[in-house]
Amino acid sequence: MLKVKIITPGKTKEHWLKDALDEYCKRLSGAIAIEFVYPRDDAHLIALVDKERLCLALDPFGDVVTSEGFCKILYKAFEEGGSRVSFVIGGPEGLPDVVRKRCNMLRLSSMTFTHQMTRLILLEQIYRAAEIYRGSSYHK
Amino acid sequence: MLKVKIITPGKTKEHWLKDALDEYCKRLSGAIAIEFVYPRDDAHLIALVDKERLCLALDPFGDVVTSEGFCKILYKAFEEGGSRVSFVIGGPEGLPDVVRKRCNMLRLSSMTFTHQMTRLILLEQIYRAAEIYRGSSYHK
């Protein structure tokens, strides 16, 4: 079973966002297990990222990718990371520089989203990547 | 009162997405009134867009913008359109070419989102634009 850990400060507060994340976790459950980890502060976030073998950061300074490109990056990371990949999303203040240096950085959009909404967009893109990988028609 | 009409085929089905859209419409209610219009098919969509004075299309072939750039485009469009702006989002098959030619096209991301999720991202960006415009700290 492939595993994705999403490290992101602050629990999800809004009920619709919880429902949406649950929905995508359920849809992914046959292919990829998702775990959310909520660091207490930047020091905790840095310590958590340090433990990870392979960590992808979502950041405004990251590389722009298409959904197909994201699929390739994700599945290459699964290969290199022993079926495990971690993502890190900064809080409202963004990611600490030390994390930016340690991770490969991706950008979801040139627009700014709330870090809470970024969780949903990431999860939908992971689901889309899984569907692209298995060759379904979801992504078309 | 500023008004935004969002022309997009297919009613919103998922309850979490309805809740999310309601939440943003409520937050915006002091500044911008939002109306969703659901065309039956492409012919209906084309007819609806034809009636609009000023229509912005969300499309993978559109211009990439930042949230600040989107704010400028939106408020300039309010000025030119007599406080009214319409957006059009295509269904799973995208927008008809005639609509692409008639509208100014914007792109939310190089990634592909479902057209349903695009509604939420658009609404959050409209809310963000309203906050940027009134100089709040939401967007920071």
The predicted-structure confidence for A67-79, as pLDDT tens digits, reads as follows: 999 999 999 999 9
Cα of B78 to nearest chain A Cα, Å: 20
Of A20, A64, A70, the CB nearest to B16: A20
- A70 → chain B, closest CA residue: B111
Of A16, A92, A139, the CB nearest to B23: A16
Of B23, B65, B120, the CB nearest to A111: B65
**Residue A3 Cα to chain centre, angstroms:** 11
Q: What is the pLDDT of residue A13?
A: 87
- pTM for the full predicted model: 0.92
Q: If contacts are CB pairs under 8 Å, which of residues 80-139 in chain B contact chain A? A: 92, 108-114, 117, 120-121, 124-125, 128, 139
- A19 → chain B, closest CA residue: B16
Segments of chain A scoring below 50 in pLDDT: none
Long-range (24+ apart) CB contacts under 8 A made by B24-33 are: B24/B120, B24/B123, B24/B124, B24/B126, B24/B127, B25/B123, B27/B127, B28/B123, B28/B126, B28/B127, B28/B130, B31/B2, B31/B130, B31/B134, B32/B1, B32/B2, B32/B3, B32/B4, B32/B126, B32/B130, B33/B1, B33/B2, B33/B3, B33/B4
**Residue A26 Cα to chain centre, angstroms:** 16
Whether residue A92 and residue B140 make contact (CB cut-off 8 A), yes or no, is yes
- A138 → chain B, closest CA residue: B114
Per-domain residue ranges for chain A?
Answer: 2-133
pLDDT in tens, B91-102: 888 899 999 999
pLDDT in tens, B14-71: 999 999 999 999 999 989 999 999 999 999 999 999 999 899 999 988 999 999 999 9
ipTM more than 0.90?
no
Query: In chain A, which residues have their Cβ closer than 8 Å to the Cβ of B13?
Result: none
Of B16, B65, B110, the CB nearest to A64: B110
Whether residue A117 and residue B121 make contact (CB cut-off 8 A), yes or no, is yes
Q: Which fold has domain A2-133?
A: Alpha/beta knot (3.40.1280)
